[in-house]
Amino acid sequence: METPGWRAAIDGALHGLGAAAGARLGLLRLEARHALRVAVAAIVALAAALLLLATAWFALIAALVAWAVLAGFEWPWVLLAVSAACIVLGAIAVASARSSVARIRFDASTRAFGLSPLRAGPDLPANPAGGSR
């Protein structure tokens, strides 16, 4: 014969485990939403930077080639200077996007699940902010 006290204790324990798991999954869901917003913002910023760089590229090329012809400069040197400037600006845009993505870390969920934030999985880099696979 089963005692009702044991059944209530088991039911209470199972309910408590379910509530704890639900709270942790809720935290994970909140962080996933935040990560999605950050990722979308990074993608939008990168797309805007690429459009601005392309527009600047065409405008600078046209202006500098016209100026070079009128001023007597050789056009290959002007193209080289404009290319170097656009490479620097493109590197700045990529660095900005990478720094945004590096902020997606799920720190609170990692702590709640008792995981080390730098623990690597079988196919993940040891450093979540970068590194090679």
Other Cβ atoms less than 10 A from the Cβ of 64: the count is: 19
What is the per-residue pLDDT for 13? 75
Which tens digit of pLDDT belongs to each residue from 57-93? 788 778 877 887 788 878 777 778 778 887 998 899 8
Average pLDDT, the chain: 78
Joined tokens for residue 51: 């459009």
How far is residue 123's CA from residue 86's CA, in Å, rounded to a whole number?
A: 35
What is the per-residue pLDDT for 11? 77
